Structure 1
Amino acid sequence: MINIYDNANTMAEALQQTQQYQDLKQAFDMLKLDAVGYGLFKQFQEKQLELQQQQSQGQDIDPDSLKKLQELGDKIKDIDAIKTLITKEQAMAQLMDELNAIVNKPISDLYRQNDK
Protein backbone atom coordinates (compact mmCIF):
# COMPACT_ATOMS: atom_id res chain seq x y z
CA MET A 1 0.00 0.00 0.00
CA ILE A 2 1.32 3.44 -0.89
CA ASN A 3 1.95 6.01 1.79
CA ILE A 4 0.60 9.13 0.14
CA TYR A 5 2.13 11.31 2.84
CA ASP A 6 5.60 10.25 1.70
CA ASN A 7 4.67 11.47 -1.78
CA ALA A 8 3.34 14.73 -0.34
CA ASN A 9 6.57 15.29 1.57
CA THR A 10 8.58 14.58 -1.58
CA MET A 11 6.40 17.08 -3.44
CA ALA A 12 6.98 19.68 -0.71
CA GLU A 13 10.72 19.21 -1.05
CA ALA A 14 10.50 19.47 -4.85
CA LEU A 15 8.37 22.60 -4.56
CA GLN A 16 11.20 24.32 -2.73
CA GLN A 17 13.40 23.74 -5.78
CA THR A 18 11.05 25.51 -8.21
CA GLN A 19 11.86 28.93 -9.62
CA GLN A 20 8.57 30.26 -8.27
CA TYR A 21 9.47 29.25 -4.72
CA GLN A 22 13.02 30.57 -5.00
CA ASP A 23 11.72 33.90 -6.35
CA LEU A 24 9.16 34.14 -3.55
CA LYS A 25 11.79 33.38 -0.92
CA GLN A 26 14.13 35.99 -2.34
CA ALA A 27 11.36 38.60 -2.42
CA PHE A 28 10.42 37.84 1.18
CA ASP A 29 14.06 38.01 2.28
CA MET A 30 14.36 41.41 0.57
CA LEU A 31 11.22 42.65 2.31
CA LYS A 32 12.65 41.64 5.69
CA LEU A 33 15.61 43.97 5.00
CA ASP A 34 13.17 46.93 4.87
CA ALA A 35 12.36 47.43 8.57
CA VAL A 36 9.48 49.82 7.97
CA GLY A 37 7.95 47.85 5.11
CA TYR A 38 8.32 44.55 6.94
CA GLY A 39 6.79 46.01 10.10
CA LEU A 40 3.76 47.26 8.17
CA PHE A 41 3.51 43.94 6.35
CA LYS A 42 3.46 42.04 9.66
CA GLN A 43 0.81 44.40 11.07
CA PHE A 44 -1.31 43.84 7.97
CA GLN A 45 -0.96 40.06 8.24
CA GLU A 46 -1.87 40.06 11.94
CA LYS A 47 -4.92 42.26 11.40
CA GLN A 48 -6.02 40.15 8.43
CA LEU A 49 -5.67 36.94 10.46
CA GLU A 50 -7.58 38.45 13.36
CA LEU A 51 -10.49 39.40 11.11
CA GLN A 52 -10.48 36.01 9.38
CA GLN A 53 -10.66 34.27 12.76
CA GLN A 54 -13.56 36.47 13.84
CA GLN A 55 -15.37 35.74 10.60
CA SER A 56 -14.76 31.98 10.85
CA GLN A 57 -16.21 32.03 14.37
CA GLY A 58 -19.36 33.69 13.06
CA GLN A 59 -18.58 37.04 14.67
CA ASP A 60 -19.46 40.27 12.96
CA ILE A 61 -16.45 42.21 11.76
CA ASP A 62 -16.12 45.56 13.46
CA PRO A 63 -16.19 48.36 10.86
CA ASP A 64 -13.30 50.11 12.65
CA SER A 65 -11.18 46.95 12.40
CA LEU A 66 -11.98 46.65 8.70
CA LYS A 67 -11.08 50.31 8.23
CA LYS A 68 -7.76 49.75 10.00
CA LEU A 69 -7.00 46.83 7.69
CA GLN A 70 -7.80 48.96 4.65
CA GLU A 71 -5.57 51.77 5.96
CA LEU A 72 -2.71 49.33 6.45
CA GLY A 73 -3.33 48.00 2.95
CA ASP A 74 -3.13 51.52 1.56
CA LYS A 75 0.17 52.08 3.38
CA ILE A 76 1.82 48.92 2.11
CA LYS A 77 0.60 48.91 -1.49
CA ASP A 78 3.22 51.42 -2.63
CA ILE A 79 6.23 49.77 -0.99
CA ASP A 80 8.36 48.30 -3.78
CA ALA A 81 9.46 45.25 -1.77
CA ILE A 82 5.81 44.40 -1.07
CA LYS A 83 4.83 44.92 -4.71
CA THR A 84 7.55 42.46 -5.69
CA LEU A 85 6.43 40.00 -3.02
CA ILE A 86 2.84 40.16 -4.25
CA THR A 87 3.96 39.50 -7.83
CA LYS A 88 5.96 36.47 -6.68
CA GLU A 89 3.04 35.26 -4.53
CA GLN A 90 0.82 35.38 -7.61
CA ALA A 91 3.26 33.25 -9.59
CA MET A 92 3.45 30.77 -6.71
CA ALA A 93 -0.35 30.68 -6.46
CA GLN A 94 -0.60 29.90 -10.17
CA LEU A 95 1.80 26.98 -9.74
CA MET A 96 -0.16 25.74 -6.72
CA ASP A 97 -3.41 25.96 -8.71
CA GLU A 98 -1.86 23.87 -11.49
CA LEU A 99 -0.59 21.28 -8.99
CA ASN A 100 -3.96 21.20 -7.25
CA ALA A 101 -5.69 20.52 -10.56
CA ILE A 102 -3.33 17.60 -11.23
CA VAL A 103 -3.83 16.12 -7.76
CA ASN A 104 -7.61 16.51 -7.98
CA LYS A 105 -7.89 15.11 -11.52
CA PRO A 106 -8.66 11.52 -10.40
CA ILE A 107 -11.58 12.79 -8.32
CA SER A 108 -12.87 14.98 -11.16
CA ASP A 109 -12.55 12.08 -13.58
CA LEU A 110 -14.36 9.77 -11.17
CA TYR A 111 -17.36 12.05 -10.99
CA ARG A 112 -17.39 12.58 -14.75
CA GLN A 113 -17.40 8.79 -15.29
CA ASN A 114 -20.43 8.45 -13.07
CA ASP A 115 -22.31 10.94 -15.25
CA LYS A 116 -22.04 8.63 -18.26
Structure 2
Amino acid sequence: MSNVYDKAHELSSALKDSDEFQKLKDLHVEVENDEVAKRMLDNFRNIQIELQQMQMQGQQPSEEEITQAQKQFEMVQQHEVISKLMAEEQRLSTVISDINKIVTEPLEEIYGTPEDNKSE
Protein backbone atom coordinates (compact mmCIF):
# COMPACT_ATOMS: atom_id res chain seq x y z
CA MET A 1 0.00 0.00 0.00
CA SER A 2 1.38 3.40 -0.95
CA ASN A 3 2.00 6.02 1.67
CA VAL A 4 -0.73 8.66 1.65
CA TYR A 5 1.80 11.35 2.60
CA ASP A 6 3.94 10.50 -0.42
CA LYS A 7 0.87 10.95 -2.61
CA ALA A 8 0.16 14.28 -0.94
CA HIS A 9 3.70 15.44 -1.73
CA GLU A 10 3.26 14.26 -5.33
CA LEU A 11 0.04 16.29 -5.50
CA SER A 12 1.86 19.31 -4.08
CA SER A 13 4.52 18.99 -6.79
CA ALA A 14 1.88 18.60 -9.48
CA LEU A 15 0.14 21.73 -8.20
CA LYS A 16 3.42 23.68 -8.28
CA ASP A 17 3.95 22.51 -11.88
CA SER A 18 0.42 23.43 -12.98
CA ASP A 19 -0.23 26.25 -15.44
CA GLU A 20 -2.48 27.95 -12.90
CA PHE A 21 0.23 28.02 -10.24
CA GLN A 22 2.97 29.12 -12.66
CA LYS A 23 0.82 31.97 -14.03
CA LEU A 24 -0.07 33.07 -10.50
CA LYS A 25 3.58 32.99 -9.47
CA ASP A 26 4.63 35.05 -12.52
CA LEU A 27 1.88 37.61 -11.93
CA HIS A 28 2.79 37.83 -8.25
CA VAL A 29 6.40 38.65 -9.18
CA GLU A 30 5.14 41.24 -11.66
CA VAL A 31 3.01 42.93 -8.99
CA GLU A 32 5.86 42.81 -6.45
CA ASN A 33 8.13 44.56 -8.98
CA ASP A 34 5.59 47.31 -9.69
CA GLU A 35 5.66 49.70 -6.74
CA VAL A 36 2.25 51.25 -7.49
CA ALA A 37 0.55 47.89 -8.05
CA LYS A 38 2.11 46.44 -4.90
CA ARG A 39 0.96 49.39 -2.78
CA MET A 40 -2.57 49.23 -4.24
CA LEU A 41 -2.85 45.49 -3.64
CA ASP A 42 -1.40 45.73 -0.12
CA ASN A 43 -3.88 48.48 0.78
CA PHE A 44 -6.78 46.43 -0.60
CA ARG A 45 -5.74 43.28 1.24
CA ASN A 46 -5.27 45.22 4.50
CA ILE A 47 -8.81 46.55 4.21
CA GLN A 48 -10.07 43.01 3.54
CA ILE A 49 -8.27 41.68 6.63
CA GLU A 50 -9.62 44.49 8.82
CA LEU A 51 -13.20 43.80 7.67
CA GLN A 52 -12.80 40.05 8.20
CA GLN A 53 -11.41 40.60 11.69
CA MET A 54 -14.34 42.85 12.54
CA GLN A 55 -16.81 40.22 11.33
CA MET A 56 -15.03 37.47 13.28
CA GLN A 57 -15.39 39.60 16.41
CA GLY A 58 -19.10 39.99 15.73
CA GLN A 59 -18.81 43.64 14.67
CA GLN A 60 -20.59 44.98 11.62
CA PRO A 61 -18.51 47.24 9.34
CA SER A 62 -19.87 50.76 8.91
CA GLU A 63 -21.28 51.95 5.61
CA GLU A 64 -18.18 54.12 5.21
CA GLU A 65 -15.87 51.13 5.67
CA ILE A 66 -17.86 49.06 3.19
CA THR A 67 -17.85 51.93 0.67
CA GLN A 68 -14.09 52.37 1.13
CA ALA A 69 -13.53 48.65 0.52
CA GLN A 70 -15.70 48.72 -2.61
CA LYS A 71 -13.84 51.74 -3.98
CA GLN A 72 -10.50 50.09 -3.29
CA PHE A 73 -11.72 46.89 -5.00
CA GLU A 74 -12.81 48.87 -8.07
CA MET A 75 -9.41 50.57 -8.19
CA VAL A 76 -7.43 47.33 -8.04
CA GLN A 77 -9.73 45.71 -10.62
CA GLN A 78 -8.86 48.51 -13.04
CA HIS A 79 -5.15 47.79 -12.74
CA GLU A 80 -4.43 45.27 -15.51
CA VAL A 81 -1.81 43.17 -13.72
CA ILE A 82 -3.69 43.09 -10.39
CA SER A 83 -6.88 42.15 -12.21
CA LYS A 84 -5.07 39.28 -13.93
CA LEU A 85 -3.54 38.22 -10.60
CA MET A 86 -6.93 38.13 -8.90
CA ALA A 87 -8.44 36.14 -11.77
CA GLU A 88 -5.59 33.64 -11.57
CA GLU A 89 -5.99 33.41 -7.78
CA GLN A 90 -9.63 32.52 -8.39
CA ARG A 91 -8.70 29.85 -10.96
CA LEU A 92 -6.20 28.27 -8.59
CA SER A 93 -8.73 28.43 -5.77
CA THR A 94 -11.18 26.52 -7.97
CA VAL A 95 -8.55 23.86 -8.70
CA ILE A 96 -7.80 23.48 -4.96
CA SER A 97 -11.52 23.31 -4.17
CA ASP A 98 -11.96 20.58 -6.79
CA ILE A 99 -9.00 18.68 -5.35
CA ASN A 100 -10.49 19.00 -1.87
CA LYS A 101 -13.76 17.49 -3.10
CA ILE A 102 -11.89 14.57 -4.64
CA VAL A 103 -9.77 13.98 -1.52
CA THR A 104 -12.80 14.03 0.80
CA GLU A 105 -14.90 11.64 -1.30
CA PRO A 106 -13.95 8.63 0.87
CA LEU A 107 -15.26 10.45 3.95
CA GLU A 108 -18.50 11.29 2.14
CA GLU A 109 -18.98 7.58 1.52
CA ILE A 110 -19.01 7.10 5.29
CA TYR A 111 -20.64 10.29 6.56
CA GLY A 112 -22.49 11.63 3.52
CA THR A 113 -22.31 15.21 2.31
CA PRO A 114 -23.39 18.28 4.30
CA GLU A 115 -26.39 18.50 1.96
CA ASP A 116 -27.37 14.90 2.88
CA ASN A 117 -27.24 15.71 6.59
CA LYS A 118 -29.41 18.85 6.40
CA SER A 119 -32.61 16.88 5.97
CA GLU A 120 -32.05 14.87 9.16
1:61 aligned onto 2:68: no
- TM-score in terms of structure 2 length: 0.79
**AA in 2 matched with 1:32:** E
- What is the letter of the counterpart of residue 18 of structure 1? S
Q: How many residues align?
A: 111
Identity score, percent: 28
Give the Cα separation in 1 of the matches to 2:96 and 2:86: 15
Q: TM-score, normalised by structure 1?
A: 0.82
Q: Distance in 1 between matches of 2:101 and 2:23?
A: 22
Match of 1:19 in 2: 19
- Give matches, 1:4-83, under 5 Å: 8-83=8-83
User: What is the CA distance between 1:8 and its match in structure 2?
Assistant: 4.1
Unmatched tracts of structure 1, length 5 or more: none
Which amino acid is the alignment partner of residue 62 of structure 1?
A: S
Query: RMSD over aligned Cα, in angstroms?
Result: 2.0
**Corresponding residue of 1:106:** 106
Deviation at 1:46, TM superposition (A): 0.5
